[in-house]
């Protein structure tokens, strides 16, 4: 932290002056190595790369001339670790320690581009030199994420230099609280946490609720498998969230805020903690914020990682120190929330949108998006997709654009089957609906939901019954168990789905699942239970034939459900290389060298080891009586899409 | 109070205070909404979802739980729409699958036409996690000894770390409130679970903390047992206060001492029954089947703990022995005097036992029978004629043989020792002066006789007067006596009072 950090900002002029000073130090022509140090890239070992750059620059005596910037996650996790060499904006991907000397020598010293580290356009195969030209980035609209790759999230100076906290000062000095609430209302901002409740309405309710003590809360308890939008924002640009919260507190008349962040996000916990400290020492948090007389402070509370604690009333229970259990919200939390006091809970991404609205004005914000959903939305694109990562797009783009244009489509040229949106409680959208525009209302109409923005892409080797079973198994673990429909209903739905996957499905099981689904939707206490049936109901809606195949024909069309499939070796394709026999744990594969092998089905445990290893695609899966070839013949991975890119 | 709000439930209209719940409104309208986790003493919880109802509007409807939905605006509600009933059925099916052995859900299933659940029964459970026990322990008792542990289907009610609870006060509220009998206090604590015996029934049955001391009590209103009331002991609970519609519960009431100016006093403080534990050879207090005359009285009473059926621990005794003069005419224990009532009440009780237990063998051990009152001798003859055996002799010992008792006595008519086996022994416990008789006597400056009873002025001529003018005696405070004698003496005392008061009035005039 620089010495300046101790100077308190007392007026808009102070901030402007500090910004000028900071920008002067950050000359745009100064060479800078911006390296993603987000969680994904850290898992790739980027720390060692950063150390190597420091060592290399030290060795060459360039350390004081070249800045090494450990940034937040810019989103292109598929290609990490990521490096952007500025000021040229040269984009290197999948860099390793061994590349470091070459990058310093070639690019930094001689200004030459290293071709092998460049990203290649998936369609044309052409190398792309500049970050801005990478299709993954080019097609996005990064109103929230744009700063992530430009700043070190542990330094408030970087944020201020990029224009940070100008919205706060604008709000404090030029706007009335009522005016801010009105602006948020008119902007059409809706909660990014899942339900899509109009934020302005919530703010107005809290502002007008009775009571001196009001709370603003940031929900950073992102729990959907495969979702990491909030994580990236909180880790990569914590000040934007904090600034949004302070503006919100000013608008609603709150003096105390909380960030509820899951303990599984250690970097987010650290970075928001640093941000709070830095904001305090700059006079942007605490008593008399920026000399305006307004007082507000933020405390950070770590959650234990229960999925249900992302639900607002359960989160507040947890904040109070109780077991995280939801309660009825017939009386809104904006009236009686945390400690029975008016509380405004928004998620990370929602708060991060606030400075944007204040800075640009609600009119500009409302120009982006659709009729009912304004602004941009960040999605985490995972599963069977070429470009795994974070995607920020304006509301209203088509699913097809996200998956194929930005996401690069399905690997290995396999056909797209479905996309699951909205996390475990979301629904599956089939290929026929790829031209659906993505906003809160359209996704709900299709039987799915926006959720917090998880997007899991599936190809033809995904069994939809198995997928529903997978999500229900997750939800069964995460149900708090308070209300009967959620606790018992999810467990029983899972029981029925499991018997269908095991080939023991009965006539009437589909109807039973639908009945259970109806009860879950109508009778559950909280949104977790109400939406828990979405994976089941949406897959029944769009992939009913797969359910019927399991139940009537005892067949898994995708070749996934183990009790319904068998592995066999096509003698015409088998070369007798014996590669499959070696890894077989049960010694179920026999055959002479260079002669076609066979699998003893009585011994086979269907582990798939032979299938994975066969180079000639001679090991095949068949299901049911039909010997017809199944999708997935060829090399294969399991059915359930790999969910977490960090893994 | 803000303005009342109109609500229409199943076509019936009501005007209610804002914030009234739909459930409360429905119940005032006499509409039954099923609940499985609701108790008016506790905060609404909304977990069972059985009370879900449908709020209908023009072109929309919403399912809400009626137990915690506050009415704030005019609305129309259906408590048994198709959608509601369909969901309730599924809930019952789910609960029956979880708790197949719970009669509660078997009955509900029958009511909602739910057959065998379409799910596998994994592990039969009685607990369906309604949380009533946990909530009563937290909200009312304040002990917080139990809580929910775990998540989802793994959730269960437990003590911290599944250990015997230190915090539990063994009040039993959890067990009491549990609709399926799933929770036992003895699983939570190893503290002794103390039943509260109903004193009037000689402890033969229990009572609540709030109870009417005995039938026809004056005044005939309930009292709170301070020594066991959670509010008086721990400052918690206060449930009764909320439940009493005329708000008659007043925790601030205290015992009072009154100074009253009077012209005459009648001392009618009665007697104490002899405590048969003082004669250990009879095993009273050790053997559950050795009981006192008063206990037998409650057993035989139609308003008693067994509704008049003579049973001990659920068993009807066949052989019954009555023992006379327990604590009377006894130089070692009790009084040397005759208690005057035991011969006849024993005859009556023997007659009742004979009447209520046909074929029973009844033996009465006596010293001599003093049937001195009007019609008494005739009754004694009748009882003997019913086949009840009177044996002359005082038992020396009662002991256990197997699960029966043996009464050992010398039959003084036969001149030899006899042993009679019995399932029940009734001790004809005698009359004693009250334990606090000395205190009362000194307060009134009255004298007592050698036997401890209050001394009358003259044993023959002034049997109700005392040496202090204006103070009279009535009943057993003076000496053991039966009801007719007591009534006679009471009337005499009343007459004495009248005389005394009229003298005072004349003096005043």
Per-residue pLDDT reduced to its tens digit, A288-317: 999 999 999 999 999 988 889 989 999 999
The whole-number pLDDT of residue B137 equals 95
Mean pLDDT of A201-211: 94
Work out the end-to-end distance of chain A between its first and last CA atoms, rounded to an integer number of angstroms: 32
User: A384 with A462: CB under 8 angstroms?
Assistant: yes
Angle at CA A186, nearest 5°, toward A182 and A188?
Answer: 130
Tell me how far apart the alpha carbons of residues B92 and A88 are, in angstroms, rounded to a whole number: 68
Spatial CB neighbours of A242, under 8 Å, sequence gap ≥ 6: A272, A275, A276, A279, A285, A298
Tell me how far apart the alpha carbons of residues B498 and A87 are, in angstroms, rounded to a whole number: 120
The CATH number given to whatever domain includes residue A283 is 3.40.50.11540
Contact A487 B153 (CB under 8 A): yes
* Closest by Cβ to B65, choosing from A323, A328, A479: A328
Tell whether B291 and B162 lie within a shared domain.
no
Is there a domain that residue B251 lies in? no
The two beta strands, B52-57 and B12-16, are unpaired
Tell whether A524 and A454 lie within a shared domain.
no
Is there a domain that residue A322 lies in? yes
Find the domain containing B64 and state its range: 5-80
- Looking at B429, B447, B481, the residue that finishes a domain is B429
Distance from CA of B159 to the nearest CA of A (A): 15
Is pLDDT at A393 greater than 60 in this prediction? yes
Phi-psi region of A372 (alpha: psi -120 to 50; beta: other; left: phi over 0): alpha
Q: What are the start-end ranges of the E strands in A107-264?
A: 119-120, 127-128, 215-220, 256-262
Distance from CA of A487 to the nearest CA of B (A): 5
User: What tokens does A181 get?
Assistant: 């609430």
Q: Is A321 on the interface with B (CB under 8 A)?
A: no
Only one residue has tokens 């980035």, namely A137
Under 8 Å CB pairs connecting chains A and B tally to: 106
On chain B, the residues whose CB falls within 8 A of the CB of A481 are 129, 148, 150-155
The two beta strands, A416-421 and A454-459, are antiparallel
DSSP string, B58-90: TTEEEEEETTT-B--S-EEEESS-HHHHHHHHH
User: B353 with B386: CB under 8 angstroms?
Assistant: no
Quote the radius of gyration of chain B (alpha carbons, Å): 32
Tell whether A455 and A468 lie within a shared domain.
no
* Closest by Cβ to A484, choosing from B48, B68, B83: B48
The CATH number given to whatever domain includes residue A626 is 3.30.70.20
C-alpha neighbours within 13 Å on the C-beta side of residue B402: 4
Is there a domain that residue B411 lies in? yes
Distance from CA of B297 to the nearest CA of A (A): 51
Contact B98 A496 (CB under 8 A): no
Tell me how far apart the alpha carbons of residues A30 and B178 are, in angstroms, rounded to a whole number: 73
Tell whether A570 and A590 lie within a shared domain.
yes
The CATH number given to whatever domain includes residue A404 is 3.10.20.600
Contact A330 B70 (CB under 8 A): yes
Q: Is A490 on the interface with B (CB under 8 A)?
A: yes
Mean pLDDT of A571-577: 91
Q: Is A186 on the interface with B (CB under 8 A)?
A: no
State percent of chain A over pLDDT 70: 96
Is there a domain that residue A3 lies in? no
A-contacting residues of B 466-485, CB under 8 Å? Answer: none
Tell whether A299 and A346 lie within a shared domain.
yes
Tell whether B310 and B405 lie within a shared domain.
yes
Tell whether B353 and B398 lie within a shared domain.
yes
Tell me how far apart the alpha carbons of residues A253 and A241 are, in angstroms, rounded to a whole number: 18
Neighbours of B212 (CB within 10 A): 15
Burial bucket for residue B141 (CB in 10 Å: 0-12, 13-18, 19+)? buried
Is pLDDT at A507 greater than 80 in this prediction? yes
- A410 confidence band (pLDDT: 50, 70, 90): very high
Which string of b and e fits A416-426 if b means at least 16 CB within 10 Å? Answer: bbbbbbbbbbb
The CATH number given to whatever domain includes residue A488 is 1.20.1440.230
Contact B153 A516 (CB under 8 A): no
Helical pair A177-187 and A199-208, crossing angle rounded to 10 deg:
150
- The Cα-based distances of A15 to A157, A283, A566 in angstroms read 11, 11, 68
The CATH number given to whatever domain includes residue B331 is 3.50.50.60
- Looking at A505, A537, A552, the residue that finishes a domain is A552
Burial bucket for residue A158 (CB in 10 Å: 0-12, 13-18, 19+)? buried
Is there a domain that residue A336 lies in? yes
Tell whether A162 and A266 lie within a shared domain.
yes
Tell whether B69 and B179 lie within a shared domain.
no
Tell me how far apart the alpha carbons of residues A190 and A199 are, in angstroms, rounded to a whole number: 5
The whole-number pLDDT of residue B481 equals 95
User: What tokens does B185 get?
Assistant: 């206090």
Tell me how far apart the alpha carbons of residues B49 and B68 are, in angstroms, rounded to a whole number: 11
Poorest-pLDDT segment among A509-513, A590-594, B447-451? A590-594
Q: Is the peptide bond between A81 and the residue preceding it cis, with omega within 30 degrees of 0?
A: yes
C-alpha neighbours within 13 Å on the C-beta side of residue A375: 31
Instruction: For residue A565, list its beta bridge partners.
Output: A623
Tell whether B236 and B330 lie within a shared domain.
no
Tell whether B415 and B455 lie within a shared domain.
no
Is there a domain that residue B454 lies in? yes
> A271 φ, ψ to 5°?
-70, -40
Spatial CB neighbours of B460, under 8 Å, sequence gap ≥ 6: none
User: What tokens does B480 get?
Assistant: 């053991």
Is there a domain that residue B125 lies in? no
Tell whether A454 and A508 lie within a shared domain.
no
User: B371 with B344: CB under 8 angstroms?
Assistant: yes
Q: Is B62 on the interface with A (CB under 8 A)?
A: no
Burial bucket for residue A176 (CB in 10 Å: 0-12, 13-18, 19+)? exposed
The whole-number pLDDT of residue B180 equals 95
Tell whether A323 and A429 lie within a shared domain.
no
Work out the end-to-end distance of chain B between its first and last CA atoms, rounded to an integer number of angstroms: 59
Phi-psi region of A46 (alpha: psi -120 to 50; beta: other; left: phi over 0): alpha
Q: Is B261 on the interface with A (CB under 8 A)?
A: no
Mean pLDDT of A126-147: 91
Tell whether B339 and B400 lie within a shared domain.
yes
Tell whether A358 and A345 lie within a shared domain.
yes
Mutate to test the interface with B, among A474, A502, A523, A529 (most CBs of B within 10 A): A523
Tell me how far apart the alpha carbons of residues A488 and B454 are, in angstroms, rounded to a whole number: 73
Tell me how far apart the alpha carbons of residues A475 and B359 are, in angstroms, rounded to a whole number: 68
Is pLDDT at A453 greater than 50 in this prediction? yes
User: B240 with B249: CB under 8 angstroms?
Assistant: yes
Tell whether B322 and B382 lie within a shared domain.
yes
Q: Is A483 on the interface with B (CB under 8 A)?
A: yes
Q: Is A523 on the interface with B (CB under 8 A)?
A: yes
The whole-number pLDDT of residue A537 equals 94
Instruction: For residue A560, list its beta bridge partners.
Output: none
Is there a domain that residue B331 lies in? yes
Q: Is B113 on the interface with A (CB under 8 A)?
A: no
Closest A-chain CA to B88: A519
Tell me how far apart the alpha carbons of residues A23 and A15 are, in angstroms, rounded to a whole number: 12
Is there a domain that residue B460 lies in? yes
On chain B, the residues whose CB falls within 8 A of the CB of A331 are 70
Q: Is the peptide bond between A457 and the residue preceding it cis, with omega within 30 degrees of 0?
A: no
Find the domain containing A89 and state its range: 31-138
**Tens-of-pLDDT digits for all 509 residues of chain B?**
578 999 999 999 999 999 999 999 999 999 999 999 999 999 999 999 999 999 999 999 999 999 999 999 999 999 999 999 999 999 999 999 999 999 999 999 999 999 999 998 767 789 999 999 999 999 999 999 999 999 999 999 999 999 999 999 988 899 999 999 999 999 999 998 877 888 888 888 888 889 998 888 888 989 999 988 989 988 889 989 888 888 899 999 888 999 999 999 999 999 999 999 999 999 999 999 999 999 999 999 998 889 999 998 889 999 999 999 999 999 888 889 999 999 999 999 999 999 999 999 999 999 999 999 999 999 999 999 999 999 999 999 999 999 999 999 999 999 999 999 999 999 999 999 999 999 999 999 999 999 999 999 999 999 999 999 999 999 999 999 999 999 999 999 999 999 999 998 888 88
- Looking at A504, A531, A552, the residue that finishes a domain is A552
Is pLDDT at A625 greater than 60 in this prediction? no
Closest A-chain CA to B47: A483
Q: Is A502 on the interface with B (CB under 8 A)?
A: no
DSSP H stretches of helix in B368-476: 376-385, 437-444
The structural domain count of chain A equals: 5
Tell whether A433 and A414 lie within a shared domain.
yes
Tell whether B337 and B229 lie within a shared domain.
no
Contact B155 A496 (CB under 8 A): no
The structural domain count of chain B equals: 5
Tell me how far apart the alpha carbons of residues A247 and A254 are, in angstroms, rounded to a whole number: 10
Tell whether A569 and A489 lie within a shared domain.
no
Tell me how far apart the alpha carbons of residues A496 and A514 are, in angstroms, rounded to a whole number: 11
Tell me how far apart the alpha carbons of residues B379 and B384 are, in angstroms, rounded to a whole number: 9
User: What tokens does A377 get?
Assistant: 């939305």
Is there a domain that residue B464 lies in? yes
Tell whether B451 and B401 lie within a shared domain.
no
On chain A, the residues whose CB falls within 8 A of the CB of B91 are 484-485, 519, 523
Is pLDDT at A457 greater than 80 in this prediction? yes
Tell whether A172 and A284 lie within a shared domain.
yes
- Looking at B429, B449, B476, the residue that finishes a domain is B429
Residues present in chain B in total: 509
Tell me how far apart the alpha carbons of residues B14 and B26 are, in angstroms, rounded to a whole number: 9
What is chain A's mean pLDDT, rounded?
Answer: 90
Tell whether A476 and A521 lie within a shared domain.
yes
Is there a domain that residue A12 lies in? no
Helical pair A509-523 and B82-98, crossing angle rounded to 10 deg:
110
Is there a domain that residue B97 lies in? no
User: What tokens does B311 get?
Assistant: 């049973």
Tell whether B310 and B414 lie within a shared domain.
yes
Quote the radius of gyration of chain A (alpha carbons, Å): 27
- Looking at A333, A367, A401, the residue that finishes a domain is A367
- A4 confidence band (pLDDT: 50, 70, 90): very low
- H or E segment at A599? strand A598-599
SS3 B95: helix
Poorest-pLDDT segment among A542-556, A631-645, B269-283, B424-438? A631-645
Tell whether B407 and B441 lie within a shared domain.
no
Tell me how far apart the alpha carbons of residues A450 and B81 are, in angstroms, rounded to a whole number: 31
The whole-number pLDDT of residue A124 equals 87
Is pLDDT at A18 greater than 60 in this prediction? yes
């Amino acid at each position: 932290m620089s010495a300046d950090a101790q100077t308190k900002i007392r007026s808009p002029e102070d901030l402007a002056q500090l910004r000028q000073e900071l920008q002067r130090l950050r000359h745009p022509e100064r060479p800078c190595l911006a390296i993603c140090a987000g969680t994904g890239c850290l898992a790739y070992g980027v720390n060692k790369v950063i150390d190597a750059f420091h060592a290399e620059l030290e060795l060459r005596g360039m350390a004081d001339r070249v800045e090494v910037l450990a940034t937040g996650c810019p989103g292109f996790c598929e290609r990490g670790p990521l490096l952007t060499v500025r000021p040229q904006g040269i984009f290197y991907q999948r860099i390793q320690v061994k590349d470091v000397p070459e990058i310093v020598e070639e690019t930094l010293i001689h200004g030459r581009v290293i071709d092998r580290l460049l990203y290649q356009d998936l369609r044309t195969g052409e190398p792309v030199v500049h970050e801005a030209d990478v299709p993954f980035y080019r097609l996005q609209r990064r109103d929230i994420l744009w700063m992530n790759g430009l700043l070190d999230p542990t330094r408030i100076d970087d944020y201020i230099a990029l224009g940070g906290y100008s919205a706060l000062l604008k709000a404090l000095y030029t706007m009335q609280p009522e005016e801010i609430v009105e602006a948020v209302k008119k902007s059409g901002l809706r909660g990014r946490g899942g339900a899509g409740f109009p934020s302005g309405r919530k703010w107005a309710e809290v502002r007008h609720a009775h009571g001196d003590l009001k709370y603003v809360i940031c929900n950073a308890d992102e729990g959907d498998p495969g979702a990491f939008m909030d994580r990236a924002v909180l880790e990569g640009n914590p000040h934007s969230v904090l600034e949004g919260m302070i503006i919100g507190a000013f608008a609603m008349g709150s003096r105390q805020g909380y960030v509820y962040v899951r303990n599984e996000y250690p970097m987010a916990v650290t970075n928001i903690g640093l941000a709070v400290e830095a904001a305090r020492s700059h006079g942007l948090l605490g008593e008399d914020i920026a000399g305006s007389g307004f007082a507000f402070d933020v405390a950070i509370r770590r959650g234990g990682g229960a999925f249900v604690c992302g639900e607002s009333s359960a989160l507040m229970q947890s904040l109070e120190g109780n077991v995280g259990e939801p309660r009825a919200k017939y009386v809104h939390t904006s009236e009686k929330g945390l400690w029975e006091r008016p509380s405004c809970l928004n998620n990370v991404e929602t708060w991060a949108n606030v400075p944007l609205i204040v800075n640009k004005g609600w009119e500009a914000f409302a120009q982006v998006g659709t009729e009912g959903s304004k602004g941009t939305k960040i999605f985490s694109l995972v599963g069977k997709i070429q470009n795994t990562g974070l995607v920020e797009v304006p509301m209203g783009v088509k699913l097809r654009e996200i998956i194929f244009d930005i996401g690069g489509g399905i690997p290995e040229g396999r056909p797209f089957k479905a996309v699951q949106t909205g996390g475990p409680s979301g629904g599956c959208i089939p290929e026929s609906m790829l031209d659906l525009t993505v906003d809160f209302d359209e996704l709900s109409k299709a039987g799915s939901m926006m959720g917090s923005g998880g997007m899991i892409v599936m190809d033809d080797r995904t069994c939809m019954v198995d997928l529903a079973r997978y999500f229900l198994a997750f939800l069964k673990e995460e149900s708090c168990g308070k209300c009967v429909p959620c606790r018992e209903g999810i467990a029983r739905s899972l029981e029925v789905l499991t018997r269908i996957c095991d080939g023991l499905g009965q006539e009437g099981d589909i109807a039973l699942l639908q009945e259970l689904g109806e009860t879950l939707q109508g009778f559950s206490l909280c949104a977790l239970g109400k939406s828990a049936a979405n994976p089941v109901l949406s897959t029944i809606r769009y992939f009913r034939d797969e359910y019927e195949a399991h139940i009537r024909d005892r067949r898994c069309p995708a070749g996934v459900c183990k009790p319904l499939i068998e592995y066999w070796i096509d003698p015409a394709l088998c070369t007798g290389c014996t590669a499959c026999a070696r890894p077989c744990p049960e010694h179920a594969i026999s055959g002479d060298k260079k002669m076609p092998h066979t699998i003893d089905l009585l011994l086979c445990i269907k582990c798939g080891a032979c299938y994975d290893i066969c180079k000639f695609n001679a090991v095949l899966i068949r299901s049911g009586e039909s010997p017809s070839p199944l999708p997935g013949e060829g090399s294969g991975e399991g059915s359930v899409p790999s969910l977490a890119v960090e893994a | 109070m803000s303005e009342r709000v109109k609500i229409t439930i199943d076509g019936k209209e009501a005007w209610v205070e804002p914030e009234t719940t739909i459930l409360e409104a429905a119940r005032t309208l006499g509409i039954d909404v099923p609940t499985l986790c609701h108790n008016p003493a506790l905060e609404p919880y909304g977990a069972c979802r059985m009370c879900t109802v449908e709020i209908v509007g023009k072109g929309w409807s919403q399912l809400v739980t009626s137990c915690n939905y506050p009415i704030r605006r005019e609305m129309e509600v259906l408590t048994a729409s198709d959608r509601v009933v369909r969901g309730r059925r599924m809930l019952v099916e789910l609960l029956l699958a979880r708790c197949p052995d719970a009669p509660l859900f078997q009955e509900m299933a029958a009511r909602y036409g739910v057959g065998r659940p379409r799910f596998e029964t994994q592990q039969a459970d009685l607990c369906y996690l309604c949380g009533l026990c946990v909530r009563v322990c937290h909200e009312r008792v304040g002990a917080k000894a139990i809580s929910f542990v775990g998540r989802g289907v793994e959730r269960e009610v437990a003590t911290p770390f599944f250990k015997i609870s230190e915090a539990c006060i063994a009040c039993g509220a959890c067990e009491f409130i549990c609709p399926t009998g799933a929770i036992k206090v003895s699983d939570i604590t190893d503290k002794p679970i103390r039943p509260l015996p109903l004193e009037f029934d000689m402890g033969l049955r229990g009572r609540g903390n709030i109870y009417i001391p005995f039938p026809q009590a004056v005044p005939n209103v309930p009292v709170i047992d301070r020594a066991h009331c959670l509010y008086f002991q721990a400052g918690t609970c206060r449930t009764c206060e909320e439940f009493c519609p005329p708000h008659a519960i007043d925790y601030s009431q205290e015992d009072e001492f009154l100074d009253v100016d009077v012209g005459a006093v009648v001392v009618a403080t009665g007697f104490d029954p002899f405590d048969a534990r003082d004669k250990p050879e009879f095993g009273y207090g050790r053997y559950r089947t050795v009981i006192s005359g008063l206990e037998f009285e409650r057993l035989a009473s139609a308003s008693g703990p067994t509704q008049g059926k003579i049973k001990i621990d659920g068993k009807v005794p066949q052989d019954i022995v009555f023992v006379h003069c327990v604590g009377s005419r006894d130089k070692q224990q009790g009084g040397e005097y005759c208690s005057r009532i035991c011969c006849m009440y024993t005859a009556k009780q023997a007659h009742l036992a004979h009447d209520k237990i046909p074929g029973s063998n009844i033996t009465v051990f006596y010293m001599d029978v003093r049937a001195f009152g009007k019609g008494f001798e005739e009754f004694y003859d009748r009882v003997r004629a019913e086949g009840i055996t009177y044996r002359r002799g005082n038992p020396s010992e009662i002991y256990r043989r197997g699960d029966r008792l043996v009464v050992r006595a010398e039959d003084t008519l036969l001149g030899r020792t006899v042993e009679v086996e019995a399932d029940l022994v009734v001790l004809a416990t005698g009359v004693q002066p009250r334990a606090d008789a000395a205190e009362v006597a000194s307060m009134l400056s009255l004298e007592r006789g050698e036997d401890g009873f209050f001394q009358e002025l003259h044993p023959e001529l002034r049997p109700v007067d005392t040496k202090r003018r204006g103070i009279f005696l009535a009943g057993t405070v003076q000496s053991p006596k039966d009801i007719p004698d007591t009534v006679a003496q009471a009337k005499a005392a009343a007459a004495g009072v009248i005389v005394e008061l009229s003298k005072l009035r004349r003096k005043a005039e």
